[in-house]
Amino acid sequence: MTTSQETERDGVRAGDERLEAFDAGRVEAAVRELLIGIGEDPDREGLRDTPARVARSYRELFAGLWTDPADVLGRTFGEDHDELVLVRDIPLFSMCEHHLLPFHGVAHVAYLPGTDGRVTGLSKLARLVDLYARRPQVQERLTTQVADALDKTLGARGVLVVIDCEHQCMSARGVRKPGSRTTTSAVRGILKTSASTRAEALGLIRH
């Protein structure tokens, strides 16, 4: 019998064919080339293990590519609560797909349970954010994907996702505006059609 630790790593089940998509050797070779390309010596002591370190790090940072939202939202339980559920200030780390530089900040995820009277575990909302954050991303798509998963996979009656991040591609390079933040939102179902329900959710997020 296998333990859950053996069968699951970074949310990806061993034996899952989606795991095969990650080619560590190829990532290592590319990082070695990259180091040569910037004029470095990949064989000097400090850089010798860097390609393997980056491959391990990318394996973790992009683990969301091999995970399905149904894996996260599959387990629900009956609860007599048909009103708003909000998890605020979920820290998130993602990678901008344009520059492969991090963006990080917080996500606020609110939903109204579906008519079947079932809710998901609170941690699953944070896991869902991680699942989509751990991919090459843009913030708008990340926000949309989290909202759509709750709308379609969980069958929520209403969804509101607000994400607020600082992008290192805007801080460390390029336009160089550290401290500037980007806010995106996605609204579905009742939270879209009912201004008062949406105002209640936004008020709780601001609280």
Ligand X SMILES: Nc1nc2c(ncn2[C@@H]2O[C@H](COP(=O)(O)OP(=O)(O)OP(=O)(O)O)[C@@H](O)[C@H]2O)c(=O)[nH]1
40 is catalytic: no
Which one of residues 25, 74, 117, 174 is an interface residue with ligand X (CB under 6 A)? 174
165 is catalytic: no
Residues between 92 and 151 with contacts to ligand X, criterion CB under 6 A: 96, 98, 138-140
81 is catalytic: no
Degrees to nearest 5, angle at CA 182 with 176 and 186? 155
Q: Where does this chain touch ligand X (CB under 6 A) — which range of 48-56, 72-80, 107-115, 170-178?
A: 170-178
Catalytic residue among 99, 104, 166, 168: 99
Q: How far apart are alpha carbons 154 and 75 in whole angstroms? A: 10
Under the rule (CB under 5 A), what is the footprint of Zn ion? 96, 98-99, 169
Q: Which residues contact 56 (CB under 8 A, 6 or more apart)?
A: 24
The residue number with the shortest CB distance to ligand X is: 174
DSSP-H helix ranges across the chain:
4-7, 24-37, 45-48, 50-61, 69-73, 122-133, 139-148, 168-171, 190-193, 195-206
169 carries a ligand binding annotation: yes
Q: Which residues contact 44 (CB under 8 A, 6 or more apart)?
A: none
165 carries a ligand binding annotation: no
Active site amino acids: 96-99, 139, 167, 169
Q: Which residues bind ligand X (CB under 6 A)?
A: 96, 98, 138-140, 167, 169-170, 174-175
User: Which residues belong to the annotated binding site for Zn(2+)?
Assistant: 96, 99, 169
